Amino acid sequence: MNAADSENLARRLLAAGFQEAPLDRADVAVLNTCCVRQASEDKVYSKLHELRHWKTGDRLIALTGCLGVKEGEGLQARFPQLDAVLPIGEYDGFIADLEARYDYSLGEPLPAAGRTGVSHYVSVIHGCNHNCTFCIVPRVRGRERSVPIEDVVSECVEAVADGAREVVLLGQNVDAYRDPGGRGGLAALMRQVEAVPGLRRARFMTSHPRDLEPELLDVMAASDVICRELQLPIQSGDDRLLKRMARGYLTRDYLSIIERARARMPDLGLATDVIVGFPGETEEMYLNTRRLVEQVEFDVVHIAMYSPRPGTYSGDRLADDVPADEKRRRINDLLAVQKSIAAGKTAGWLGKRVEVLVEGFDELGRAYGRSRQGKRVTVKRARCQPGEVVQVLVEDAAPGHLSGPLAA
Ligand code: SF4
């Protein structure tokens, strides 16, 4: 979501006549922030400290994103070098102020602010109505607001006209999408998006096991455009912890979604999120998570150590009682388990053909892109251009990464 917000602000600044520049030549620095974990917050504070030395003369520092909402004006009191805190997505006033402040006459019209990337992010729902006890998102991003289907479709049409070949539909909980005009949920939206002429791929994230519509799996399975990829956070493999997290499902519900999804799409790429060291997590509870990870065999598991967030139920009301060393041991143990699962899963692609949307070139000048299952693929011994869709015969497989020549 933050990457999408940054793209949006950058596009608007370009359209207003500003240009992207390295920090040493820039007039304005905008920090787009996240506060989902303490580490993300600390990164912002250290960047603000660094920028103190950069801020000379007429230079300006602005901050947007979740940390701005969480900390509000208190941030400017703490960091006097910070000139403005912008509400998420509301940049009109800021851009007008910049135009007035940097009143340059450029002499000739700037080229239209286009986009060159193959992939384009589209935010389709903002906010979240759930109240997972560890999560700060509902507080900083507010209640759910879905973007009308026709607006999403026109953004996709424009993105394709500007060169994009893939769209990624985003939401904190994308499965909660409901067209405000009553024309359906995410499945209905995906049907409209996949029909956009010239679009080769559509993806969406992040899903929620409580809200995923069964119909969505049918739409995905029948489509050549919608990718075979689900980002479906489980958070814990222990039902007592899932209840304490207020996730609204049990492990059996989660497993039955996976079973249905894989029955329709055996080649589905599956990613999840797990928190280790949540308040009250015993060794037995942790082992339940580990067993679930072994059972499901995810392609990717994003593992985070629990970090209490002030303003959340668990941050304010539950003791952070798993010692840091134990959290580290569990995360390392789970990472090792997942590493060997991922190695086995990627090895299963050896000798097979994968469809790749070329996104760019690596440091050796080789084209790379992603498969429909979300794996990064390097194309060997062939020249192809970003935006092309090619078939690759997999010769080498490392966790999360495949490579090979074009298939005959
Ligand atoms: S569904 Fe996701 S965004 Fe919403 S409260 Fe839970 S973890 Fe946070």
Domain that holds residue 46: 2-101
pLDDT for the residue 109: 45
**H or E, element range at 228:** none
Judge whether 398 and 340 are in contact, CB under 8 Å.
no
Q: Quick one: average pLDDT of 330-357?
A: 95
C-alpha–C-alpha distance, residues 76 and 168, integer Å = 34
Whether residues 171 and 230 share a domain: the answer is yes
What is the average per-residue pLDDT within 356-367?
A: 93
Whether residue 154 sits in one domain with residue 22 = no
CATH number, domain at 268?
A: 3.80.30.20
pLDDT of 317 > 70? The answer is yes
Question: In terms of pLDDT, which residue wins out, 288 or 109?
Answer: 288
- The reply to whether 213 and 135 lie within a common domain is yes
Does 107 map to a domain?
Answer: no
Sign of the Cα torsion 363, 367, 371, 372 reads positive
**Which one is predicted more confidently, 10 or 73?**
10
Q: Are residues 298 and 385 in the same domain?
A: no
- Are both 317 and 359 inside the same structural domain? no
366 and 319 assigned to the same domain: no
Neighbour-count burial of 58, counting CB atoms closer than 10 A to its CB (0-12 exposed, 13-18 middle, 19+ buried) = exposed
Residues 273 and 359 in one domain: no
Residue 252 sits in the same domain as residue 385 = no
Report the separation in Å between the CA atom of 186 and the middle of ligand 1, taken as the mean of its atom positions.
17
- The minimum-distance atom of ligand 1 relative to the CA of 235 is 7
Q: Is residue 274 located within the same domain as residue 376?
A: no
Q: Alpha-carbon distance 334 to 349, whole Å?
A: 23
Residue 128 lies in a domain: yes
Is 255 part of a structural domain of the chain? yes
By 3-state DSSP, what share of the chain in percent is helix, strand and coil, each rounded to 5?
Answer: 40, 20, 40
| φ, ψ (nearest 5 deg) of residue 352 | -100, 165
Ligand 1 atom with least separation from CA of 247:
6
Q: Is residue 61 located within the same domain as residue 138?
A: no
Neighbours of 162 (CB within 10 A): 15
- Model pLDDT for residues 183-197, shown as the tens digit of each residue: 999 999 999 999 999
Residue 112 has pLDDT above 60, yes or no: no
Contacts (Cβ under 8 Å, ≥6 apart) of 83: 60, 61, 62
- pLDDT, position 116: 55
Q: Which residues line ligand 1 (CB under 6 A)?
A: 128, 130-132, 135, 137-138, 172-173, 208
| 331 and 384 inside one domain | no
Residue 115 has pLDDT above 70, yes or no: no
> Would you say residue 357 has pLDDT above 60?
yes
The mean pLDDT value for 165-175 works out to 96
Task: Please tell me the distance from the alpha carbon of residue 47 to that of residue 61, in angstroms, as a whole number.
Answer: 11
Say how many Å lie between the CA of residue 163 and the centre of ligand 1. 33
Each residue of 222-260: pLDDT tens digit?
A: 999 999 999 999 999 999 999 999 999 999 999 999 999
At 381, the pLDDT band (50, 70, 90 cuts) reads confident
Give the mutation target among 126, 128, 129 for probing the ligand 1 site: most ligand atoms within 8 A of CB: 128
Q: How confident is the model at residue 58 (pLDDT cuts 50, 70, 90)?
A: confident
Can you tell me the mean pLDDT for 44-54? 94
Q: Which helix (H) or strand (E) holds 357?
A: strand 353-361
Please write the tens of the pLDDT for every residue from 124-133: 999 999 999 9
pLDDT band at 182 (very low <50, low <70, confident <90, very high): very high
Question: Ligand 1 atom 8: the closest Cα is on which residue?
Answer: 135
The pLDDT of residue 107: 46
Please give the angle made by the CA atoms of 66, 61 and 42, to the nearest 5 degrees: 45
Lowest mean pLDDT, pick from 139-143, 318-322, 356-360, 380-384 = 380-384
Q: Global pTM?
A: 0.89
pLDDT for position 193: 98
Domain termination residue (choose one: 318, 347, 376): 347
Percent of the chain past pLDDT 90, that is, above it, reads 79
Residues paired with residue 81 on neighbouring β-strands, in sequence order: none
Euclidean distance between CA atoms 23 and 27, whole angstroms: 8
Same domain, 179 and 309: yes
C-alpha gyration radius of the chain: 22
Gap between the Cα atoms of 217 and 222, Å rounded = 9
| Mean pLDDT value across residues 335-355 | 95
For residue 119, what are the CA distances in angstroms to 1, 12, 116, 167, 299?
A: 14, 18, 9, 6, 22
Q: Could you report how far apart the first and last alpha carbons of the chain are, in Å?
A: 38
In this structure, of 73-77, 114-118, 147-151, 188-192, the range with the lowest mean pLDDT score is 114-118
Round the average pLDDT of the chain to a whole number and report it. Answer: 93
From 34, 36, 66, 135, give the residue whose CB has the most ligand 1 atoms within 8 Å, as the site to mutate.
135
C-alpha of residue 350 to centroid of ligand 1, in Å: 36
